[in-house]
Structure 1
Amino acid sequence: MTRPPTAAQRRVVDAADPVTGRLRGTEPQLAALVLRGLAFRHPRPPHNHFLTPAGHRLRESAPEAAEPVVVAPATAGVFAARIGGEDGPVSGPARTREVHSAWQGLLELRRMTNPDGSVDRPCGWERTHLVQAAALALEAAGHRPSTRDDMAGYRVRATPQPEAVAVRDPDGAALRDCAQTLERAGWQVSEHNEPRTRASYLLASPRRS
């Protein structure tokens, strides 16, 4: 049976980039994680190391890695896609660059971790971070998230259904645009109505094939 990682190696895993899984550590630490099947070395220069699916699972098992109900704003120092309802400005050149970089990193993660190297459907990380993944797809495509003071724009929330998020937008045309964006990003999308208000919303799930 493979020995568990040391405390130092576990800190390297816990500090991995939350989107791409890129690791930073000493060469012995990274090599040990590769031997344990928790990381792999990218074959192309600069030969960075990234978490494997097993490494992502280990990282998510850490109490400090658990996601809060409300995603922290980008100003906290770690990138977080806007799920809607946060404080602060929703756009700007710096934010646009951050979102673009995060989306490209997620596409690379798909290529590296999907068995067939496909980038047109979600990967394992997205299935364990449904709200964040769907919000990133929307924000990267230019959709406007709502804020705490302005309900206009999308909001992505978890649902009781496994592997499904709810997407709401008071603008019906914008909601339909959100559906098209998520479908292009590899999600299965269906439109529904709230039982009491009859307001439309989307249910979106990562496509498997």
Structure 2
Amino acid sequence: MTRPPTAAQRRVIDAADPVTGRLRGTETQLAALVKRGLAFRHPRPPHDHFLTPAGHRIREAAAQPPPEPAAGTSATGTSATAGVFAARIGGEDEPDAAPGPARVREVHSAWQGLLELRRMTNPGGATDLPCDWERTHLVRAAALALEAAGHRPAGRDTDGYRVRATPQPEAVAVHEPDGGALRACALTLEKAGWQVGEHTDPRTRARYLLASPRRV
């Protein structure tokens, strides 16, 4: 059985950038995480360290709510007061009010961080194609692309986009009751490097998008 990270290593993992997984720590701490397969050192300057998928899983497991979440904890597994950035996927737990300046700055910073992660991890430094992090966090990645472009998520009393997982590998569904807004979401995701198709739910006849990260 793999030995769990030390307390010092956990602090480094927990302090990683929530989107890019970029790490800050001493050379000894970072080297230890690399040795355990929880981080990797980027081959290009400035040779920053990033969490591997295993490292991301450890970080996210610590943020999961208890089996019976307390009031104020959302269905997506994040607390409204946790202070950790999470893209808004749309739903009753999302705020109905328009995002304030602080949220706008957070979303912009997260999107720029994601573009930087693409640059540092994609072959050739391509920023127009989704990276491995996005392929393992499909719902969050698609929601971030939409929110960063100014689309509004659905709230308890407001319409907007809703991003949901699907049984299909590497695909998410995007629901938006307004047809024009749905098409605008499709354009945003295509611009962000996703393949998008519009479909009709056979039961409700509602239109929705099926989106997957492009590979080429």
TM-score by length of 2: 0.82
Measured in 2, the distance between the counterparts of 1:73 and 1:61 equals 18
User: How many equivalent residue pairs?
Assistant: 201
Percent identity between the two aligned chains: 69
Structure 2 gap ranges (5+): 66-73
**Partner residue in 1 for 2:71:** none
1:72 to 2:78 alignment: yes
Asked whether 1:193 is paired with 2:192, we answer: no
CA distance in 2, matches of 1:207, 1:69: 28
Please give the alpha-carbon distance, in whole angstroms, between the structure 1 residues aligned to 2:98 and 2:40. 34
Instruction: Confirm or deny: 8 A CA contact 2:94 2:154 kept in the other structure.
Output: no
Counterpart CA distance in 2 for 1:197 and 1:158 is: 18
| Pair 1:121-2:129 in alignment | yes
Distance 1:178 1:203, change over 3 A: same
Partners of 1:180 and 1:71 lie apart in 2 by: 29
Counterpart of 2:49 in structure 1: which amino acid?
Answer: F
**CA-based RMSD:** 2.5
Partner in structure 1 of residue 40 of structure 2: 39
1:26, 1:204 → 2: CA distance? 40
Q: Look up the SS of the partner of 1:76 in the other structure.
A: coil
Correspondences of 1:16-55 after superposition (within 5 Å):
16-34=16-34, 38-40=39-41, 43-44=45-46, 49-51=48-50, 55=52
Flag the 1:6–1:147 CA change in 2: closer, same or farther, 3 A: closer
Change (3 A) 1:74 1:43: farther
2:184 maps to 177
TM-score between the two structures when normalised by the length of structure 1: 0.85
Q: How big is the shift at 1:61?
A: 5.2
Q: Which residue of 2 aligns with 1:56?
A: 53
Where structure 1 has 5 or more consecutive residues not aligned to the other structure, the ranges are none
